[in-house]
Amino acid sequence: MRHALALLTLVLFAVPAAAQPATVSLDDAVRGIEAEYGRMTDLKAEISQTSFNKSLNQTIPAAGQVYLKKGGKLRWEYTEPTQQVIVSDGKTIWLYTPQLNQVNTGPAPEALAGPAGSFLSGLGKLREHFNVRLLNPAQPKDAEGNVVLDLTPKRPLPTLNRLILSFDPNGWQLRKAVVYDQFENTVTMKFSKLAINSGLEDKLFAFVPPKGVATVPLK
């Protein structure tokens, strides 16, 4: 459950734009990211994910689809390793696990709509909400040519203590995100088949439990 809640702090957006120069400074990256992400309203994408529990030395892979919208609205549909649906309309959150015939529900965490938990607002005003540096100032790009930023929220959360983001400088499209919690557990996500500002309807972010499913308060 803790890993699922950690994922709720993430609202990730990306969009293509004009090509960037071969050498990119931190200021170049911040300006490009803020310009592109400041106008995001919604996103849908396919994700591949790996969660690592440091204390147990355990790695769990996962895959599925994600739908995100301003205001803390989200829908994660996991297909692997087991089916699970996580939905929030910004006020209420539901975690539905068909295998257990159960849905956990409760008030949506406040962090979902805040800048540290929402990339839609947070990346539009990057330096206002995060302390930002290049992960490796001597070599800003990784082996794939992505600019890698090291972010720490100015108001840290238990589920979001540090964030490593890899951006394609040819448009500042987000390629990879690594989220660290306060115990240095990590969730690594890679994104594909991104669709930006497609007009996702609010009804996608509401959840009605199937008939016969047990409803349990979220703790």
Q: What is the pLDDT of residues 122-176, one digit of tens each?
A: 677 888 888 999 999 999 999 999 999 999 988 877 778 899 999 989 888 888 9
Q: What is the pLDDT of residues 181-197, one digit of tens each?
A: 889 999 999 988 888 89
Question: What total of structural domains would you count in the chain?
Answer: 1
Q: Is the dihedral of CA 77, 63, 176, 157 positive or negative?
A: positive
CATH of the domain at 145: 2.50.20.10
Q: Is the dihedral of CA 205, 211, 213, 218 positive or negative?
A: positive
The side-by-side arrangement of strands in the sheet containing 173-180 is: 130-134, 147-153, 162-168, 173-180, 186-196, 42-53, 58-69, 73-80, 84-89, 92-97, 102-107, 214-217
% of residues, the chain, pLDDT over 70: 84
Q: What range does the domain containing 43 cover?
A: 2-217
Q: Facing residues of 94 across strands?
A: 87, 105
Q: Facing residues of 77 across strands?
A: 65, 85
> pTM of the full predicted structure?
0.79
Confidence at 120, pLDDT banded by 50, 70, 90: low
